[in-house]
Amino acid sequence: MIRLANHLNVDHCIASLLIQRGVKDFDQSKAFFRPSLDDLHDPFLMKDMQKAVNRIQKAIENKEHILIYGDYDVDGTTSVALLYSYLSESYSLVSTYIPDRYKEGYGVSYAGIDYAKSHNYSLIIALDCGIKAIDKVAYAKEKGIDFIICDHHRPGLEIPDAIAVLDPKQEDCPYPYKELCGCGVGFKLIQALSQKSGKTTEDIIPYLDFVATAIGADIVPITGENRVLAHFGMKQINNAPRVGFKALTPPLDRPISMTDVIFKIAPRINAAGRMEHASYAVEILIEQRLEKAMEMAQGIETFNSSRKDLDKEITKAALEQIIKNKEEDNASTVVYDPSWHKGVIGIVASRLTETYYRPTLVFTKSGDKLAASARSVKGFDIYNALEACCDCIEQFGGHKYAAGLTLRADQFMAFKEKFEKVVRETIDKHLLIPEIKVDLKIDFNDITPKFYRILKQFAPYGPGNAIPVFLTQNLIDTGGSRCVGQENAHLKLSLAQSDGVIFDGIAFGLGDKLPLLKNNQPVDILYTIDENYFNGKTSLQLIIRDIKPTILNELNGSNP
């Protein structure tokens, strides 16, 4: 650590944070702090990429109609917008298709293929879906329609018989980076197409705003190639945003961060697919007239407000159901109501894990089947758990921490019992206790302007490069701490260390911790560091994650 600190001319705190992220020498530090387009992998390393490029070029030469098909979430809609925007610049016979969440369900649908046939499409390019669409691709083939699949979900034992299947998670795919999102795979396709047409990677930088948004929304690791894509994508969003992003971004007095993408832009994109139809989201993303995009954004904001009301209502009902069924002490949460809105059950599943920290599934009725969204807790692979219950499931797909599934109504109780059994027998009990990982113990006097200037360059943050969480001990309230917000839910703090260094902070949802600060009781805090913009001025503030009393041995200088 000392050697790295000396080589980079940084303090030991920064060096320690870098080493935790696998950055151990000067060259790795350069790649981390100065992402380069040269660090992107050759797209033709991906299995079937040449086949995909050849088929698209053939379609263009033969003036075939191409249908770009995508999932209805942020990753799917940005993927469709990206590929459509790229192809339509030079080719007019290209259109988009997003399945109806309620009538067709997730992924490639028979209805979508029938639509393609009736409208004379001979090539479907599926994005963020399709890796398990064995029967659908075969059905399309019977109708004379070719498929190119661009997916990032885990494949099953069988791969669809498509012209090309682009998915780095295939066991025999040599592509060196496996954690691309669906839009990332779509970007590799346009990178390959641009290379074949004599363009450079710099020429396709404008499409990286789509990719950065998908990376943030789909919660994929921001490491390796994703870090490069996210870095340049965030630059694009801030410096040259397309009209759709301008319309979807609320007014801010500071640069847009990945946190803003995740909590402000992505929910608005998602709201269209949750409450109405996701094609609405694609339309605003590809719209080039600002006035029209602003008008569409107002509609999406209405969808988003309705979504918020619904997810609060359903979360409340789900929590009541858990108590009514006396399932508070279960190893898992599995709840169902036929009236729950399918568009928000994923959000509700996430909300439930905030109260009952355990693998969670929320079911609702979808046609003649039941559909669910699944969310896990850190360290537990919910995909594997669902695979162990496959005899009770019609269809499922997803990732380690999030998945979707459908089953018959008569399978529900058998599935619920088996899933609870699988989780209870396989999960490490400590995984059911939420924890906050501490990156570094520091003192307030370590937070210098140089320290924060370098810390800002750790962004964009996400899985694999989480925002650093610091521990500072033995702090005293300066007298300015108070509860704020609705029902005094939050804390506004002013804390000092023994050397007199003072920092202000905000602790969301920790209003009940105010008594810990009374009577000059010393406390320890876990926090991240952020900039506060107010009245044209910028200052550092602490975003406090937890507060606890300082214990005696810490006051005496012992290690915690």
pLDDT tens for 485-502 read 988 899 999 999 988 899
State phi, psi for 223 to the nearest 5 degrees.
-130, 170
pLDDT of residue 252: 86
C-alpha closest to that of 116 among 62, 61, 65? 65
- One-letter amino acid identity for 483? C
DSSP assignment string, 160-193: ---SEEE-TTSTT---S-----HHHHHHHHHHHH
* 332 burial via Cβ count (<10 Å: 0-12, 13-18, 19+): buried
pLDDT score of 286 more than 90 = yes
Own/partner contacts of 550-556, CB < 8 Å, gap of 24 or more, are 550/473, 550/474, 550/475, 550/521, 550/522, 550/523, 550/524, 554/473, 554/474, 554/524, 555/474, 555/522
DSSP assignment string, 23-41: --SHHHHHHHHS--GGGSP
First to last CA, the chain: 22
Cα separation of 332 and 314, whole Å? Answer: 18
What mean pLDDT do residues 386-410 have?
Answer: 93
SS3 9: coil
C-alpha closest to that of 95 among 130, 131, 123? 123
Counting residues of the chain whose pLDDT is more than 90, the rounded percentage is: 84
pLDDT of residue 560: 43
pLDDT score of 557 more than 50 = no
Counting residues of the chain whose pLDDT is more than 70, the rounded percentage is: 98
Greater confidence, 278 or 455?
A: 455
pLDDT score of 555 more than 50 = no
Res. 282 pLDDT band, cuts 50 70 90: very high
Q: Which residues of 84-96 are buried (b: 16+ CB within 10 A; e: fewer)?
A: bbbbbeeeebbbb
Tokens 């490639």: give the residue. Answer: 108
What mean pLDDT do residues 356-372 have?
Answer: 96
pLDDT score of 443 more than 80 = yes
Q: Which residues contact 116 (CB under 8 A, 6 or more apart)?
A: 67, 97, 124, 140, 145
Q: 82 near 89, Cβ under 8 Å?
A: no
Within 10 A of 173 (CB to CB), how many other CB atoms are there?
A: 18
Own/partner contacts of 139-147, CB < 8 Å, gap of 24 or more, are 139/110, 139/113, 140/113, 140/116, 143/113, 143/117, 144/117, 145/113, 145/116, 145/117, 145/121, 146/55, 146/122, 147/123
User: CA torsion angle for 127, 130, 131, 136 (degrees, to 10)?
Assistant: -160
- One-letter amino acid identity for 115? Y
pLDDT of residue 552: 60
Strand 65-70 relative to strand 482-484, pairing:
unpaired
pTM of the model: 0.89
Lowest mean pLDDT among 395-399, 436-440, 509-513, 514-518: 395-399
pLDDT of residue 559: 44
Cα separation of 73 and 90, whole Å? Answer: 27
Q: Residue 62 has what DSSP assignment? A: T
Q: Which residues contact 174 (CB under 8 A, 6 or more apart)?
A: 45, 46, 47
Cα separation of 313 and 317, whole Å? Answer: 6
> Angle at Cα 143 formed by Cα 137 and Cα 149, nearest 5°?
25
> Angle at Cα 237 formed by Cα 234 and Cα 238, nearest 5°?
90
Tell me the C-alpha to C-alpha distance, in Å, between residue 391 and each of 59, 156, 411.
41, 15, 9
pLDDT score of 558 more than 50 = no
Within 10 A of 8 (CB to CB), how many other CB atoms are there?
A: 18
Cα separation of 452 and 446, whole Å? Answer: 10
Cα separation of 116 and 112, whole Å? Answer: 6
Q: What is the pLDDT of residues 505-549, one digit of tens each?
A: 999 999 999 999 988 899 999 999 999 888 778 889 999 999 999
Strand 537-549 relative to strand 523-534, pairing:
antiparallel
| Residue 321, both tokens | 């159901």
